[in-house]
Structure 1
Amino acid sequence: MLIGEVARRSGVSTRMLRHYDSLGLVRPTGRTVGGYREYSAEDIRRIFHVESLRSLGLSLRQVRRALEDPAFAPSALVGDLIHRTEDRLKREQELLDRLRTVDASAPSGWQGVLRIVELLHGLNSSSAARRQQTVLDQAEDLPVPHALLAEAILAEADPNVAGALRWALARSGGDGVASVASGVYSENVDVRRRAVLAIAEISADAATAVLADALGDSDPTVRRHAALALGGRGATEAVPTLVEMVVDGANDVEAAEVLGALSLEPGNAARIMSALVDEFAGHTADSAVRIRLTQALAEMPATIAQGTLRQLTIDDERAVAVIAATLVAAFEERADG
């Protein structure tokens, strides 16, 4: 079969077939009277073998060795090809992500594109200081795109950089919630913690709904962040977690302050007092818990806290009795004033 016919049937160009011949990779076994290359069935089979190996990413030198060296083992080479292909795909995915980020920001011109690329380089820097400065340097009229902020927030471990990123997201208002909300439902607990901290700083109604979901998280840190944020917004569903924080001594001062603020709303005070008093009954032998609960009563309205505090002035735990007596005196002095 002449070279033109082989090219048509194999899909390999005549130029490449000649290149294979010059390398000694696939040499036609015959020549016509006129000197034209003539390929046998075995030659054509070898062409298909060459193309098959090339499709796996082998170089022509590697293809020749694979076909001609009986001792050549494919396992090491195939493993190397897998590794190189994975690296290439990773780079391609990173490029695709950058292009999508640029596209999502809807730049009005090439200056906008260059700005997004500069942001990407800054946020991906190995220097925490540079990442933080990249966020803080953004002009008011050119905010960081939500998707880019969310991706950085969910991955950022440095607390200073994370704070700057949360600040930037909060500036964007409710529009930023959707971008970072997926992190609240991540399997990675660190991602969930970063997400709930970011959403806690956004005042939109959508943020409140996501925080309510976070109250049921399996991680106590996520639940506590959500409870403090929700309680600060007047959401009473945070009360059980806030009381639990007082008992456990985890951000107990902040939790008590939020409970106090919630108790100022009509109908909340009795429920919160009841929850705190129930904890006294459940921790009769734990002085540390009883002390924290007594201190938390200082944040409650005097009209409903004084009765419980007076009972605690004769508590068996001296520290509890002293704190309760001090608070009663403070409440009375405030009333007299």
Structure 2
Amino acid sequence: MLIGEVARRSGVSSRMLRHYDSLGLVRPTGRTVGNYREYSADDIRRIFHVESLRSLGLSLREIGRALEDPAFAPAALVSDLIQRTEDRLHREQELLERLRTVDASAPTGWEEVLRIIELLHSLDSASPARRQQAILTPDAVPTDVLAKAILSESDPNVAGALRWALARADDGVASIAPGLQSKDVTVRRRAVQAIVELPGADATAVLSRALGDDDPTVRKHVALALGNRGVAAAIPALVSMIVQGINDVESAEILGTLAADPTVIDSLTAALADPAADSAARIRLTQALAELPPAVAQDALRGLTQDSDKVVAMLAKALLK
């Protein structure tokens, strides 16, 4: 079969077939009387092998090695191709996100596009000082850019500057809230630290949904923030923190404020007088009762003066005085 017909049937151009020949990749086994290339059935099968391997992203050199070396192990090459493809997809995903960020900012001219690109480069810098400087520039940083940077920032100073900027941006809650759904606990912690600094009912609602998070650090930030916002649903978590000795003084002070709500007094005092806790925890719970209004705490403290744990009983008596 002559080169023109091979090109028509295989879909590989005559020019590429000549290139394959010059590289020794696919050499026709015969020549006509007029010295035209003549391909055999085996040659055509080899062309299809080459094209199949090219479709996987192999270079012509790699294809030649794969077809000629009997000891060649395809598994290593395939693994390398997978890694290269994943890297390329990662770069393209980053480019897509960058383009979406530029598009979301609704730039009015190339000057603004270039400013946003420079900002994104600065926020991706390896230098914490440069990242922080980018946040504090006079030009406003888009909210979604701030949120993305917060969820990936490890430097505490830069993270603080990012949260400060987000608290002054529009719609900060909606931008950062998806971080609380991440499977990565570090991302959830960064998200909750940002949300607790945001005012408003939207932030409170998002925090309320995170009270059941399985990470103690996330729950701690959520419970303290909700308690300070007067949300009674945080009471069980705050009491649990006192039992565990986690921010127990701050939790007790917040419970003292929440005790102003008459609807929670009975359940609150009952929880703080929990007889099932260990000795150290019950001492902390008894101390927490002292943060409640005297009229609320007295009955519970009187009951604890007869406690079987002498330290708890003595502490309750001292607090009553």
What TM-score do the two structures reach when normalised by structure 1? 0.82
Match of 1:157 among 149, 154, 159: 154
Once the two structures are overlaid, the 10-residue window that deviates more, 15-24 or 295-304, is 295-304
SS of residue matched to 2:273: helix
Deviations 1:119-165 (A, max 9, x none): 22222223333333322x232xx432222222222222332222222
Q: Structure 2: 5+ residue runs without aligned partners?
A: none
Matched residue SS, 1:107: coil
Deviation readout 1:20-65 (Å, 9 max, x if unpaired): 2222322233334444333333322222122122222222222223
- RMSD across aligned positions (CA): 2.8
Match of 2:56 in 1: 56
Q: Which runs of 5+ in 1 are unaligned?
A: 329-337
Counterpart of 1:280 in structure 2 is 273
Secondary structure at the aligned position of 2:4 is classed as helix
Partner of residue 300, structure 1: 292
Quickly say closer, same or farther: Cα 1:28–1:278, change in 2 above 3 A. Answer: closer
The code of the aligned residue for 1:51 comes to E
CA contact (8 A) 2:173 2:202 kept: yes
Q: How many residue pairs were aligned?
A: 318
**Residues 1-337 of structure 1 aligned to structure 2 (within 5 Å):** 1-135=1-135, 137-139=136-138, 142-173=139-170, 175-265=171-261, 267-268=262-263, 271-272=264-265, 274-282=267-275, 286=279, 288-306=280-298, 308=300, 316-317=310-311, 320-321=315-316, 324=319, 328=321
Contact kept in structure 1, 2:243 and 2:277, CA below 8 Å: no
CA–CA distance in structure 2, aligned partners of residues 27 and 284 of structure 1: 84
Distance of 2:255 and 2:48 partners within structure 1:
76
Q: Residue 226 of structure 1 aligns to a residue in which SS? A: helix
Structure 1: distance between partners of 2:185 and 2:114: 34
The whole-number CA distance in structure 1 between the counterparts of 2:253 and 2:128 is: 33
Aligned AA for 1:108? Answer: T
Deviation at 1:211, TM superposition (A): 0.9
Superposition deviation, residue 212 in structure 1: 0.9
Cα distance in 2, alignment partners of residues 46 and 188 from structure 1: 48
Alpha carbons 1:276, 1:293 under 8 Å: kept: no
- Between the aligned partners of 2:37 and 2:91, the Cα distance in structure 1 is 43
Taking only the aligned residue pairs, the percentage that are identical comes to: 67
CA-CA distance at 1:281 after TM superposition: 4.5
- Counterpart Cα distance in 1 of 2:175 and 2:59: 44
